[in-house]
Structure 1
């Protein structure tokens, strides 16, 4: 009898106990009771995985020789999927985001509630996956702590840099918010997206985008009163989702049916979906969209270009500026009031204008301040040999945007951290460091008074600033008409500015 179980595991690999019981019955003629007892009495080298990840506390059984093999993790992942375990859904949701997410994002893609009776909470899912060795918490250089898949074979997503994905998905969320506003799918001023100071929860679940909706199909009558519905969405840039990677979203959408919060319109957005994913998603009532289906083929394809541009921003700005100009043109139709998109575009425009002013351009460097435990963005770093390093802060906004004194104070407070970052580079240890703040709008009167006072006071680290008109004048002086036209289009004269 002892050899039957061992031979099955040798042949089929590590498996959940119910699968092995079926094989003992079908292949070796045991009764159901005898198969159950055989599994319960198994001894080393046969083991049961110590962390309960399968539903109903079912065991995952393996031979010790398989413990560190690829087959172990693939079979475990298979069984988690087949039993519709929340841990399997979380692994696939994490995989869909490139295998790396912030703690906040994990609550979105885990498929688990923030807190709900008789359900495993997202924080518990994260802890158990880490205890099981499937994920771990790591520090991404210049970014901070994130939750990452530890087992490469569980991750089926292509490589898009974490910070690039964050920026690109932020831009996409901006576009979806504008789309929802224009169509009245959610209340105009109440739509929250990732990055906003908002919990973004509907019912017990967290989402990338949330907004109350008063569309007739989403309204319910409760005790004689109309009850609002909600629009919710999660987004993925740079990936085509399969049927497993959308299951976390289905868990959340269907979980809301058991609550009393009202009707919900669930939207999942990605570069594309496999045929199996479309079938499963539509069967479960999801709205499945791509940037192209939302904004048209011209603007939709621009998101692919945006990811590629952000991954190689410095090189493209310096060596292939025509690509930046094309990108600016193709994204103009979705910009609207999009803060994330405006910020990215303004940094690229400023880098383009600065590019001939130094030997090298770097975008998106991050300096760590140990006093507060945070990383701060250095939007643009321009280096002129060993002699000089200029650090630029870029502030973009809608036409008429005004930079306040508080924003200037915060920038000034971060300058010592920026300088320390530069000095840590032995090549730049003796370089003169300057800091400038550029905006697409204006500085308010108090901000200008502070800037003038600080400029006069600072002798070691000089500072300067440019408002939107001065930035545009740089483009005019360089005879960059296409860039100045883009500045006008996105920051001075946008048709949605009113």
Structure 2
């Protein structure tokens, strides 16, 4: 049987499988490799990242078919595990992840490490194969390589917010009991050339190295929330810890903080000396309920704010009660919901976290409110520092024209209004540009609101509760 006929019969495959098949017929390894190197122009190859220098071979007629994608994913799963860990991480997070965060969910080093392909090189391999894409600040998984679900940006945002909240509270918890140095915790940071969701030095007796010069041990943690964690979803953490153990003499305690794991995954984690921190055991059942509520509301924010706005208010109350009155890193994203809550009383339909699509590229829309005669597109920022000129230039020159074209390609003839809501206000240079563009633009309108403007809008709105929300969580009451 020729190699071409083998591939047509059995589907795309790795060179190792072909070698194994022909060896059973008595051919030598060298003879088989020569056959593979001489395959005709109907057989194409993908190489460069499978173990043992294997090549993935497929017939030209199989390209872009189901069997091509299924076979390629299976081959990556079995023989390119570092690449597969990134696919699993993106699939777990519903197809999206911030570029700065994804390395925490892989076991590829973020710094040069001999015999290990770097995280960025693994990413570039996957981009080259169109398995993942870059969308602004995110990496996105092609739906063709999703094993469990279709991409869902809002659900991803909900999971990301939950994991961020959890990381912040793990930081507060570990420093409150003296496990780590009080102000030394870092998020999505490097330890021994690998990235973790949280790292911090510890000087607790018993885990310190017994050297004349005091060297800290380290607390390492990653976070997985929102799905039942099986062996595939937790494998990245086990592999990362194994490599670090073989590379360093530094002492450390590895934590995986999660809500649910299968029996098999739990066994593997324990066998590898990993501390499993269950959310309900560390923070209590109320905290678990809070995360469930957060995920549900953020995932379905537009519908919730239109039909059940009291659920958003309940969420804020829960956060206030269980997070010592602070929303931590959630503040900016909850501000999107606050602006959505404001418009929910006026508009016909509402979308939070919409993706604008134009010619296959995407940009995020924080709040998208549809009225009978107009569309309002909001950019929402709850920063501590004022919005500067550079950010406004990017919004006016890049983001607004892109979203405008995205809307217009659907023959929408409504008036389009772009708004920038900033709880910290704007620099003088940014205001000058905004005023200039506000007067000169003709295709669409732009408006901008700083602290005082936001409070005025809240106080004159149909729902008085919005004023309380803005004052308590987002806007300095002394402006």
TM range (shorter): 0.7 to 0.9
| Residue of structure 1 equivalent to 2:152 | 161
CA distance in 2, matches of 1:468, 1:39: 75
| Residue of structure 1 equivalent to 2:248 | 260
1:55-134 matched pairs, under 5 angstroms: 55-57=51-53, 85-114=81-110, 115-130=112-127, 133=129
Quickly say closer, same or farther: Cα 1:85–1:161, change in 2 above 3 A: closer
Quickly say closer, same or farther: Cα 1:147–1:353, change in 2 above 3 A: closer
Correspondent of 2:310 among 322, 327, 339: 322
| Residue of structure 2 equivalent to 1:437 | 421
Give 1:471 deviation, angstroms: 3.7
Quickly say closer, same or farther: Cα 1:287–1:415, change in 2 above 3 A: same
Matched, 1:232 2:220: yes
| Residue of structure 2 equivalent to 1:197 | none
The question of whether the paired residues in 2 share the 8 Å contact of 1:229 and 1:261 is answered with: no
CA distance in 1, matches of 2:21, 2:324: 57
Correspondent of 2:186 among 184, 189, 192: 192
1:70-469 matched pairs, under 5 angstroms: 85-114=81-110, 115-130=112-127, 133=129, 135-138=130-133, 140=135, 143=136, 146-149=139-142, 151-152=144-145, 155-159=146-150, 161-162=152-153, 164-166=155-157, 168-184=159-175, 185-194=179-188, 200-222=189-211, 224-260=212-248, 262-332=250-320, 333-334=322-323, 337-365=326-354, 378-386=365-373, 389-390=375-376, 392-396=378-382, 404=386, 406-407=387-388, 410-411=391-392, 414-415=395-396, 420=401, 423-424=404-405, 425-426=407-408, 431=415, 433=417, 435=419, 437=421, 439=423, 459=439, 463=447, 465=449, 467=451
**Residue correspondences, number:** 459
Q: List per-residue Cα deviations over 1:107-131 (Å, max 9, x = no partner).
A: 3333111220122222232334455
CA distance in 2, matches of 1:344, 1:454: 23
- SS of the residue corresponding to residue 231 of structure 2 reads coil
The question of whether the paired residues in 2 share the 8 Å contact of 1:171 and 1:340 is answered with: no
- Unaligned 5+ segments in structure 2 are none
After superposition, the CA RMSD in angstroms is 4.8
After TM superposition, the structure 1 stretch with the greater mean CA deviation from structure 2, 457-466 or 305-314, is 457-466
What TM-score, normalized to structure 1? 0.71
Give 1:310 deviation, angstroms: 2.1
CA distance in 2, matches of 1:346, 1:489: 12
CA distance in 2, matches of 1:72, 1:409: 45
After TM superposition, the structure 1 stretch with the greater mean CA deviation from structure 2, 175-184 or 316-325, is 175-184
CA distance in 2, matches of 1:67, 1:359: 45
The question of whether the paired residues in 1 share the 8 Å contact of 2:332 and 2:381 is answered with: yes
The question of whether the paired residues in 1 share the 8 Å contact of 2:367 and 2:378 is answered with: yes
- Unaligned 5+ segments in structure 1 are 195-199, 494-498
Quickly say closer, same or farther: Cα 1:259–1:158, change in 2 above 3 A: same
Give 1:138 deviation, angstroms: 3.1
The question of whether the paired residues in 1 share the 8 Å contact of 2:158 and 2:296 is answered with: no
Quickly say closer, same or farther: Cα 1:62–1:457, change in 2 above 3 A: closer
Give 1:220 deviation, angstroms: 1.8
Q: List per-residue Cα deviations over 1:127-171 (Å, max 9, x = no partner).
A: 34455x4x534355xx5663525743xx33334523541453144
CA distance in 1, matches of 2:184, 2:451: 30
- SS of the residue corresponding to residue 353 of structure 2 reads strand
Quickly say closer, same or farther: Cα 1:366–1:70, change in 2 above 3 A: closer
Give 1:341 deviation, angstroms: 1.4
Quickly say closer, same or farther: Cα 1:53–1:47, change in 2 above 3 A: farther
The question of whether the paired residues in 1 share the 8 Å contact of 2:345 and 2:463 is answered with: no
Matched, 1:51 2:41: no
After TM superposition, the structure 1 stretch with the greater mean CA deviation from structure 2, 456-465 or 272-281, is 456-465
Give 1:382 deviation, angstroms: 4.0
CA distance in 1, matches of 2:173, 2:225: 22
Give 1:469 deviation, angstroms: 11
The question of whether the paired residues in 2 share the 8 Å contact of 1:220 and 1:263 is answered with: yes
Give 1:408 deviation, angstroms: 7.9
What TM-score, normalized to structure 2? 0.74
The question of whether the paired residues in 2 share the 8 Å contact of 1:302 and 1:327 is answered with: yes
CA distance in 2, matches of 1:8, 1:375: 37
Give 1:381 deviation, angstroms: 4.2
Quickly say closer, same or farther: Cα 1:158–1:291, change in 2 above 3 A: farther
Quickly say closer, same or farther: Cα 1:165–1:235, change in 2 above 3 A: farther
